[in-house]
Structure 1
Amino acid sequence: MEIVNTAFRLFAESGYSMVQMKDIAEACHISKSLLQHYFPKKIVLLSTMLNELMLSAFTYSNEQLTALSSEQRTMIQMSFLLRTLDENPKIEHFIRDVFESPELTTELVLVSLDWLEAIGVEGETAAIRYAINFSVSGGMAVFFKRKLLKASVEAISENIAQSFYLLLGKDVQKINQVYLSTAKYNTDRYYQHFVDYLHTHATIDLSSEIKI
Protein backbone atom coordinates (compact mmCIF):
# COMPACT_ATOMS: atom_id res chain seq x y z
CA MET A 1 0.00 0.00 0.00
CA GLU A 2 2.94 2.36 0.51
CA ILE A 3 3.89 1.82 -3.15
CA VAL A 4 0.27 2.33 -4.26
CA ASN A 5 -0.12 5.52 -2.23
CA THR A 6 3.17 6.96 -3.48
CA ALA A 7 2.39 6.16 -7.11
CA PHE A 8 -1.11 7.59 -6.73
CA ARG A 9 0.30 10.93 -5.54
CA LEU A 10 2.81 11.01 -8.41
CA PHE A 11 0.15 10.17 -11.02
CA ALA A 12 -2.26 12.74 -9.59
CA GLU A 13 0.40 15.47 -9.55
CA SER A 14 2.24 14.82 -12.82
CA GLY A 15 -0.01 12.59 -14.92
CA TYR A 16 0.31 8.89 -15.67
CA SER A 17 2.36 9.30 -18.85
CA MET A 18 4.96 11.55 -17.20
CA VAL A 19 5.74 9.19 -14.31
CA GLN A 20 8.15 6.31 -14.92
CA MET A 21 8.62 3.17 -12.83
CA LYS A 22 12.05 4.41 -11.73
CA ASP A 23 10.40 7.59 -10.39
CA ILE A 24 8.03 5.53 -8.28
CA ALA A 25 10.85 3.31 -7.01
CA GLU A 26 12.98 6.33 -6.06
CA ALA A 27 10.06 7.99 -4.25
CA CYS A 28 9.48 4.75 -2.30
CA HIS A 29 13.23 4.37 -1.58
CA ILE A 30 13.31 0.91 -3.11
CA SER A 31 14.91 -0.62 -6.20
CA LYS A 32 13.08 -0.75 -9.50
CA SER A 33 13.40 -4.56 -9.49
CA LEU A 34 11.62 -4.76 -6.11
CA LEU A 35 8.87 -2.49 -7.38
CA GLN A 36 8.41 -4.73 -10.43
CA HIS A 37 8.25 -7.78 -8.17
CA TYR A 38 4.95 -6.42 -6.85
CA PHE A 39 3.80 -4.53 -9.96
CA PRO A 40 5.43 -5.83 -13.18
CA LYS A 41 4.01 -2.96 -15.27
CA LYS A 42 2.89 0.59 -14.57
CA ILE A 43 -0.60 -0.14 -15.85
CA VAL A 44 -0.99 -2.92 -13.25
CA LEU A 45 -0.28 -0.33 -10.57
CA LEU A 46 -2.84 2.08 -12.03
CA SER A 47 -5.41 -0.69 -12.33
CA THR A 48 -4.90 -1.54 -8.64
CA MET A 49 -5.49 2.10 -7.67
CA LEU A 50 -8.61 2.32 -9.79
CA ASN A 51 -10.07 -0.78 -8.15
CA GLU A 52 -9.27 0.48 -4.65
CA LEU A 53 -10.77 3.92 -5.29
CA MET A 54 -13.94 2.65 -6.95
CA LEU A 55 -14.55 -0.02 -4.35
CA SER A 56 -14.11 2.51 -1.53
CA ALA A 57 -16.66 4.83 -3.16
CA PHE A 58 -19.13 2.01 -3.81
CA THR A 59 -18.78 0.67 -0.27
CA TYR A 60 -20.13 4.00 0.98
CA SER A 61 -23.34 3.43 -0.95
CA ASN A 62 -23.57 -0.17 0.21
CA GLU A 63 -23.23 0.81 3.88
CA GLN A 64 -24.93 4.21 4.06
CA LEU A 65 -27.72 4.12 1.46
CA THR A 66 -29.08 0.61 1.98
CA ALA A 67 -32.69 1.81 2.50
CA LEU A 68 -32.80 3.30 -1.01
CA SER A 69 -33.57 1.61 -4.33
CA SER A 70 -30.79 0.57 -6.70
CA GLU A 71 -31.82 3.39 -9.07
CA GLN A 72 -31.59 5.99 -6.30
CA ARG A 73 -28.23 4.72 -5.13
CA THR A 74 -26.86 4.77 -8.68
CA MET A 75 -27.92 8.38 -9.25
CA ILE A 76 -26.60 9.58 -5.88
CA GLN A 77 -23.29 7.77 -6.36
CA MET A 78 -22.79 9.31 -9.82
CA SER A 79 -23.51 12.78 -8.46
CA PHE A 80 -21.06 12.35 -5.57
CA LEU A 81 -18.28 10.98 -7.80
CA LEU A 82 -18.55 13.77 -10.38
CA ARG A 83 -18.68 16.45 -7.69
CA THR A 84 -15.54 14.97 -6.12
CA LEU A 85 -13.72 15.20 -9.44
CA ASP A 86 -14.98 18.73 -10.07
CA GLU A 87 -13.82 20.03 -6.70
CA ASN A 88 -10.48 18.21 -6.64
CA PRO A 89 -8.29 18.80 -9.73
CA LYS A 90 -5.72 16.13 -8.79
CA ILE A 91 -8.37 13.41 -8.73
CA GLU A 92 -9.80 14.67 -12.03
CA HIS A 93 -6.28 14.55 -13.49
CA PHE A 94 -5.97 10.94 -12.40
CA ILE A 95 -9.38 9.89 -13.77
CA ARG A 96 -8.74 11.66 -17.08
CA ASP A 97 -5.70 9.42 -17.52
CA VAL A 98 -7.89 6.39 -16.84
CA PHE A 99 -10.36 7.33 -19.58
CA GLU A 100 -7.54 7.82 -22.08
CA SER A 101 -6.72 4.12 -21.74
CA PRO A 102 -9.24 1.66 -23.28
CA GLU A 103 -7.83 -1.06 -21.02
CA LEU A 104 -8.43 0.96 -17.85
CA THR A 105 -11.84 2.17 -18.99
CA THR A 106 -12.78 -1.50 -19.35
CA GLU A 107 -11.46 -2.11 -15.82
CA LEU A 108 -13.64 0.70 -14.49
CA VAL A 109 -16.69 -0.72 -16.28
CA LEU A 110 -16.07 -4.18 -14.80
CA VAL A 111 -15.84 -2.80 -11.26
CA SER A 112 -19.01 -0.78 -11.83
CA LEU A 113 -20.77 -3.80 -13.32
CA ASP A 114 -20.02 -5.92 -10.24
CA TRP A 115 -21.41 -3.17 -8.00
CA LEU A 116 -24.58 -2.67 -10.06
CA GLU A 117 -25.30 -6.39 -10.00
CA ALA A 118 -24.62 -6.50 -6.25
CA ILE A 119 -27.17 -3.76 -5.50
CA GLY A 120 -29.79 -5.39 -7.70
CA VAL A 121 -29.93 -3.38 -10.92
CA GLU A 122 -32.17 -5.42 -13.20
CA GLY A 123 -31.25 -6.46 -16.72
CA GLU A 124 -29.07 -8.85 -18.67
CA THR A 125 -25.37 -8.52 -17.87
CA ALA A 126 -24.56 -7.73 -21.50
CA ALA A 127 -27.21 -5.00 -21.59
CA ILE A 128 -26.00 -3.44 -18.33
CA ARG A 129 -22.41 -3.52 -19.55
CA TYR A 130 -23.42 -1.84 -22.83
CA ALA A 131 -25.39 0.82 -20.94
CA ILE A 132 -22.42 1.56 -18.66
CA ASN A 133 -19.99 1.85 -21.55
CA PHE A 134 -22.26 4.11 -23.57
CA SER A 135 -23.51 6.43 -20.82
CA VAL A 136 -20.31 6.74 -18.78
CA SER A 137 -17.89 7.09 -21.72
CA GLY A 138 -20.06 9.73 -23.37
CA GLY A 139 -20.87 11.45 -20.09
CA MET A 140 -17.25 11.67 -19.00
CA ALA A 141 -16.22 13.06 -22.40
CA VAL A 142 -18.69 15.88 -21.75
CA PHE A 143 -17.53 16.23 -18.13
CA PHE A 144 -13.91 16.79 -19.13
CA LYS A 145 -15.09 19.54 -21.53
CA ARG A 146 -17.69 20.98 -19.14
CA LYS A 147 -16.20 24.49 -19.03
CA LEU A 148 -16.01 24.74 -22.81
CA LEU A 149 -19.55 23.40 -23.17
CA LYS A 150 -20.81 25.40 -20.16
CA ALA A 151 -22.38 22.27 -18.73
CA SER A 152 -23.02 21.95 -15.00
CA VAL A 153 -21.81 18.95 -13.02
CA GLU A 154 -25.37 18.37 -11.81
CA ALA A 155 -26.74 18.22 -15.36
CA ILE A 156 -23.99 15.87 -16.56
CA SER A 157 -24.56 13.58 -13.59
CA GLU A 158 -28.30 13.50 -14.26
CA ASN A 159 -27.77 12.85 -17.99
CA ILE A 160 -25.39 9.93 -17.33
CA ALA A 161 -27.81 8.28 -14.90
CA GLN A 162 -30.85 8.89 -17.10
CA SER A 163 -29.19 7.60 -20.27
CA PHE A 164 -28.02 4.49 -18.39
CA TYR A 165 -31.55 3.61 -17.29
CA LEU A 166 -33.10 4.56 -20.63
CA LEU A 167 -30.74 2.11 -22.33
CA LEU A 168 -32.01 -0.55 -19.93
CA GLY A 169 -35.56 0.18 -21.07
CA LYS A 170 -36.78 2.01 -17.97
CA ASP A 171 -39.81 4.31 -18.20
CA VAL A 172 -38.91 8.01 -18.57
CA GLN A 173 -41.50 9.12 -16.02
CA LYS A 174 -40.18 6.65 -13.45
CA ILE A 175 -36.60 7.78 -14.04
CA ASN A 176 -37.62 11.40 -13.47
CA GLN A 177 -39.41 10.44 -10.25
CA VAL A 178 -36.33 8.59 -9.00
CA TYR A 179 -34.16 11.60 -9.81
CA LEU A 180 -36.44 13.95 -7.86
CA SER A 181 -36.36 11.59 -4.89
CA THR A 182 -32.57 11.86 -4.71
CA ALA A 183 -32.54 15.68 -4.52
CA LYS A 184 -32.06 15.90 -0.76
CA TYR A 185 -29.00 13.66 -0.91
CA ASN A 186 -27.23 15.89 -3.44
CA THR A 187 -26.70 18.58 -0.84
CA ASP A 188 -23.53 19.77 0.86
CA ARG A 189 -24.42 17.89 4.05
CA TYR A 190 -24.67 14.46 2.43
CA TYR A 191 -21.76 15.09 0.08
CA GLN A 192 -19.55 16.07 3.03
CA HIS A 193 -20.50 12.82 4.73
CA PHE A 194 -19.38 10.95 1.61
CA VAL A 195 -16.02 12.75 1.55
CA ASP A 196 -15.49 12.13 5.29
CA TYR A 197 -16.25 8.47 4.71
CA LEU A 198 -13.65 8.24 1.93
CA HIS A 199 -10.99 9.83 4.13
CA THR A 200 -11.76 7.39 6.92
CA HIS A 201 -12.31 4.15 5.01
CA ALA A 202 -10.47 4.34 1.67
CA THR A 203 -7.46 2.04 1.41
CA ILE A 204 -5.62 4.73 -0.58
CA ASP A 205 -4.49 7.85 1.28
CA LEU A 206 -6.59 10.68 -0.16
CA SER A 207 -5.60 13.37 2.36
CA SER A 208 -3.67 15.50 -0.13
CA GLU A 209 -5.97 14.87 -3.11
CA ILE A 210 -9.50 15.35 -1.72
CA LYS A 211 -10.34 18.38 0.39
CA ILE A 212 -12.23 17.93 3.65
Structure 2
Amino acid sequence: MPRKRNTQRRMEIVNTAFRLFAEQGYNNVQMKDIADACDISKSLLQHYFPKKIVLLSTMLNELMLSAFIYGNEQLTALSPEQRTMIQMSFMLRMLDENPRIEHFIRDVFESPELTTEIVLVSLDWLEAIGVQGEAANIRYAMNFAVSGGMAVFFKRKILRASVELIAENIDQAFYLLLGEDRRKIDQIYLSTAKYNTDHYYQQFIAYLHEHATIDLRAEIKI
Protein backbone atom coordinates (compact mmCIF):
# COMPACT_ATOMS: atom_id res chain seq x y z
CA MET A 1 0.00 0.00 0.00
CA PRO A 2 2.79 2.55 0.79
CA ARG A 3 4.32 1.87 -2.63
CA LYS A 4 0.96 2.50 -4.29
CA ARG A 5 0.58 5.78 -2.39
CA ASN A 6 4.09 6.81 -3.44
CA THR A 7 3.31 6.07 -7.08
CA GLN A 8 0.09 8.06 -6.85
CA ARG A 9 1.86 10.99 -5.20
CA ARG A 10 4.59 10.95 -7.87
CA MET A 11 2.01 11.12 -10.65
CA GLU A 12 0.12 13.92 -8.86
CA ILE A 13 3.37 15.90 -8.80
CA VAL A 14 4.09 15.11 -12.46
CA ASN A 15 0.60 16.22 -13.51
CA THR A 16 0.82 19.45 -11.52
CA ALA A 17 4.28 20.26 -12.86
CA PHE A 18 3.16 19.50 -16.41
CA ARG A 19 0.30 21.98 -16.06
CA LEU A 20 2.65 24.67 -14.68
CA PHE A 21 5.29 24.08 -17.37
CA ALA A 22 2.64 24.20 -20.10
CA GLU A 23 1.12 27.43 -18.74
CA GLN A 24 4.25 29.34 -17.73
CA GLY A 25 7.22 27.69 -19.44
CA TYR A 26 9.83 25.39 -17.94
CA ASN A 27 12.34 28.13 -17.10
CA ASN A 28 9.74 30.28 -15.34
CA VAL A 29 8.65 27.57 -12.90
CA GLN A 30 10.76 26.83 -9.83
CA MET A 31 10.69 23.78 -7.57
CA LYS A 32 9.07 25.88 -4.83
CA ASP A 33 6.24 26.79 -7.24
CA ILE A 34 5.60 23.12 -7.90
CA ALA A 35 5.71 22.25 -4.20
CA ASP A 36 3.28 25.07 -3.37
CA ALA A 37 0.88 23.98 -6.13
CA CYS A 38 1.02 20.40 -4.79
CA ASP A 39 0.55 21.66 -1.21
CA ILE A 40 3.70 19.86 -0.04
CA SER A 41 7.10 21.03 1.22
CA LYS A 42 9.98 21.57 -1.15
CA SER A 43 11.98 18.93 0.71
CA LEU A 44 9.22 16.34 0.15
CA LEU A 45 9.11 17.27 -3.53
CA GLN A 46 12.87 16.75 -3.75
CA HIS A 47 12.46 13.35 -2.08
CA TYR A 48 10.55 12.27 -5.20
CA PHE A 49 12.38 14.43 -7.73
CA PRO A 50 15.79 15.77 -6.55
CA LYS A 51 16.02 18.27 -9.44
CA LYS A 52 13.60 19.97 -11.78
CA ILE A 53 15.24 18.35 -14.80
CA VAL A 54 14.63 14.89 -13.28
CA LEU A 55 10.96 15.77 -12.98
CA LEU A 56 10.85 16.98 -16.57
CA SER A 57 12.63 13.85 -17.82
CA THR A 58 10.06 11.68 -16.05
CA MET A 59 7.26 13.73 -17.57
CA LEU A 60 8.80 13.50 -21.03
CA ASN A 61 9.10 9.72 -20.78
CA GLU A 62 5.45 9.40 -19.78
CA LEU A 63 4.27 11.60 -22.66
CA MET A 64 6.40 9.91 -25.30
CA LEU A 65 5.59 6.40 -24.15
CA SER A 66 1.87 7.14 -24.16
CA ALA A 67 2.10 8.22 -27.79
CA PHE A 68 4.18 5.18 -28.73
CA ILE A 69 1.82 2.76 -27.01
CA TYR A 70 -0.85 3.96 -29.43
CA GLY A 71 1.27 2.74 -32.33
CA ASN A 72 2.09 -0.52 -30.59
CA GLU A 73 -1.59 -1.30 -30.09
CA GLN A 74 -3.33 0.34 -33.05
CA LEU A 75 -0.84 0.16 -35.94
CA THR A 76 0.57 -3.34 -35.49
CA ALA A 77 -0.29 -4.46 -39.05
CA LEU A 78 1.89 -1.74 -40.57
CA SER A 79 5.63 -1.69 -41.26
CA PRO A 80 8.02 0.13 -38.90
CA GLU A 81 8.49 2.83 -41.55
CA GLN A 82 4.75 3.38 -41.91
CA ARG A 83 4.30 3.55 -38.15
CA THR A 84 7.03 6.12 -37.66
CA MET A 85 5.66 8.29 -40.46
CA ILE A 86 2.10 8.19 -39.15
CA GLN A 87 3.11 8.96 -35.58
CA MET A 88 5.40 11.82 -36.59
CA SER A 89 2.55 13.38 -38.56
CA PHE A 90 0.12 12.95 -35.65
CA MET A 91 2.52 14.32 -33.05
CA LEU A 92 3.40 17.44 -35.04
CA ARG A 93 -0.27 18.10 -35.74
CA MET A 94 -0.99 17.74 -32.03
CA LEU A 95 1.66 20.38 -31.23
CA ASP A 96 0.39 22.66 -33.99
CA GLU A 97 -3.19 22.58 -32.71
CA ASN A 98 -2.38 22.83 -28.99
CA PRO A 99 -0.19 25.84 -28.14
CA ARG A 100 0.40 24.80 -24.53
CA ILE A 101 1.92 21.50 -25.59
CA GLU A 102 4.02 23.26 -28.23
CA HIS A 103 5.22 25.72 -25.59
CA PHE A 104 6.26 22.82 -23.39
CA ILE A 105 8.06 20.93 -26.19
CA ARG A 106 9.83 24.10 -27.35
CA ASP A 107 11.35 24.39 -23.88
CA VAL A 108 12.48 20.77 -24.10
CA PHE A 109 14.26 21.29 -27.41
CA GLU A 110 16.10 24.31 -26.03
CA SER A 111 17.92 21.91 -23.69
CA PRO A 112 20.49 19.57 -25.28
CA GLU A 113 20.14 17.26 -22.29
CA LEU A 114 16.38 16.93 -22.74
CA THR A 115 16.64 16.65 -26.52
CA THR A 116 18.89 13.66 -25.87
CA GLU A 117 16.20 12.27 -23.57
CA ILE A 118 13.63 12.45 -26.39
CA VAL A 119 16.06 10.68 -28.72
CA LEU A 120 16.74 7.90 -26.19
CA VAL A 121 13.04 7.24 -25.58
CA SER A 122 12.43 7.24 -29.33
CA LEU A 123 15.33 4.84 -29.91
CA ASP A 124 13.84 2.30 -27.52
CA TRP A 125 10.58 2.43 -29.45
CA LEU A 126 12.25 2.21 -32.88
CA GLU A 127 14.18 -0.85 -31.73
CA ALA A 128 11.01 -2.41 -30.31
CA ILE A 129 9.10 -2.07 -33.59
CA GLY A 130 11.97 -3.43 -35.69
CA VAL A 131 13.61 -0.47 -37.43
CA GLN A 132 16.76 -1.90 -39.02
CA GLY A 133 20.23 -0.45 -38.55
CA GLU A 134 23.17 -0.14 -36.20
CA ALA A 135 22.17 1.53 -32.93
CA ALA A 136 24.76 4.29 -33.39
CA ASN A 137 23.52 5.03 -36.92
CA ILE A 138 19.88 5.14 -35.82
CA ARG A 139 20.76 7.51 -33.01
CA TYR A 140 22.72 9.79 -35.35
CA ALA A 141 19.88 9.80 -37.88
CA MET A 142 17.30 10.49 -35.17
CA ASN A 143 19.34 13.36 -33.71
CA PHE A 144 19.84 14.99 -37.09
CA ALA A 145 16.31 14.54 -38.42
CA VAL A 146 14.39 15.45 -35.28
CA SER A 147 16.58 18.34 -34.08
CA GLY A 148 16.65 19.94 -37.53
CA GLY A 149 13.01 19.21 -38.22
CA MET A 150 11.80 20.66 -34.95
CA ALA A 151 13.87 23.82 -35.48
CA VAL A 152 11.93 24.30 -38.73
CA PHE A 153 8.64 23.37 -37.04
CA PHE A 154 9.00 26.09 -34.40
CA LYS A 155 9.56 28.65 -37.20
CA ARG A 156 6.91 27.19 -39.54
CA LYS A 157 4.79 30.35 -39.64
CA ILE A 158 7.70 32.55 -40.63
CA LEU A 159 8.86 29.99 -43.19
CA ARG A 160 5.29 29.27 -44.32
CA ALA A 161 5.99 25.55 -44.04
CA SER A 162 3.09 23.17 -43.51
CA VAL A 163 3.07 20.65 -40.70
CA GLU A 164 2.61 17.85 -43.23
CA LEU A 165 5.70 18.92 -45.20
CA ILE A 166 7.83 19.17 -42.06
CA ALA A 167 6.74 15.71 -40.88
CA GLU A 168 7.50 14.24 -44.31
CA ASN A 169 10.97 15.81 -44.38
CA ILE A 170 11.82 14.58 -40.87
CA ASP A 171 10.88 11.04 -41.89
CA GLN A 172 12.75 11.27 -45.21
CA ALA A 173 15.91 12.62 -43.55
CA PHE A 174 15.82 9.85 -40.95
CA TYR A 175 15.43 6.99 -43.41
CA LEU A 176 17.82 8.44 -46.00
CA LEU A 177 20.52 8.57 -43.34
CA LEU A 178 19.83 4.90 -42.63
CA GLY A 179 20.49 4.12 -46.30
CA GLU A 180 16.95 3.70 -47.63
CA ASP A 181 16.22 4.48 -51.28
CA ARG A 182 14.32 7.75 -51.77
CA ARG A 183 11.78 6.15 -54.10
CA LYS A 184 11.00 3.52 -51.49
CA ILE A 185 10.58 6.21 -48.84
CA ASP A 186 8.20 8.13 -51.12
CA GLN A 187 6.16 4.99 -51.73
CA ILE A 188 5.93 4.25 -48.03
CA TYR A 189 4.85 7.82 -47.32
CA LEU A 190 2.09 7.59 -49.94
CA SER A 191 0.89 4.35 -48.34
CA THR A 192 0.25 6.24 -45.09
CA ALA A 193 -1.89 8.94 -46.72
CA LYS A 194 -5.20 7.42 -45.66
CA TYR A 195 -4.15 7.69 -42.02
CA ASN A 196 -3.34 11.40 -42.24
CA THR A 197 -6.98 12.38 -41.92
CA ASP A 198 -9.10 13.96 -39.21
CA HIS A 199 -10.70 10.59 -38.46
CA TYR A 200 -7.47 8.77 -37.60
CA TYR A 201 -5.96 11.80 -35.90
CA GLN A 202 -8.98 12.10 -33.59
CA GLN A 203 -8.62 8.40 -32.77
CA PHE A 204 -5.02 9.09 -31.76
CA ILE A 205 -5.98 12.02 -29.52
CA ALA A 206 -8.86 10.08 -27.95
CA TYR A 207 -6.43 7.24 -27.23
CA LEU A 208 -4.02 9.63 -25.48
CA HIS A 209 -6.84 11.03 -23.36
CA GLU A 210 -7.84 7.54 -22.29
CA HIS A 211 -4.46 5.88 -21.78
CA ALA A 212 -1.87 8.56 -20.92
CA THR A 213 -0.65 8.57 -17.34
CA ILE A 214 -0.46 12.36 -17.51
CA ASP A 215 -3.78 14.22 -17.52
CA LEU A 216 -3.85 15.89 -20.94
CA ARG A 217 -7.45 17.10 -20.95
CA ALA A 218 -6.62 20.75 -20.31
CA GLU A 219 -3.71 20.85 -22.77
CA ILE A 220 -4.92 18.74 -25.69
CA LYS A 221 -8.34 19.42 -27.16
CA ILE A 222 -10.34 16.52 -28.49
Class of the TM-score when normalised by the shorter of the 2 chains: over 0.9
| Aligned partner of 1:180 among 183, 190, 196 | 190
- Cα distance in 1 between the residues matched to 2:47 and 2:133: 40
Letter in 1 for 2:37: A
Equivalent residue number for residue 62 of structure 1 = 72
- Cα distance in 2 between the residues matched to 1:27 and 1:182: 43
Q: Secondary structure at the match of 1:40?
A: coil
Equivalent residue number for residue 79 of structure 1 = 89
Shift of 1:179: 0.2
Q: How many residues align?
A: 212
1:50 paired with 2:60, answer yes
Shift of 1:139: 0.1
Letter in 2 for 1:164: F
Equivalent residue number for residue 115 of structure 1 = 125
Shift of 1:140: 0.1
Structure 2: which 5+ runs fail to align? 1-10
| Aligned partner of 2:156 among 129, 141, 146 | 146
Letter in 2 for 1:122: Q
Shift of 1:201: 0.0
- Cα distance in 1 between the residues matched to 2:96 and 2:187: 26
Superposed CA offset, 1:57-99 (max 9, x none): 0000000000000000000010000000000000000000100
**Root mean square deviation, CA, Å:** 0.3
Shift of 1:24: 0.3
Structure 1: which 5+ runs fail to align? none
- Cα distance in 2 between the residues matched to 1:57 and 1:40: 26
TM-score, normalised relative to structure 1 = 1.00
Q: Which runs of 4+ in 1 moved over 2 A?
A: none
- Cα distance in 1 between the residues matched to 2:120 and 2:100: 24
Identity value in percent: 83
Q: Secondary structure at the match of 1:123?
A: coil
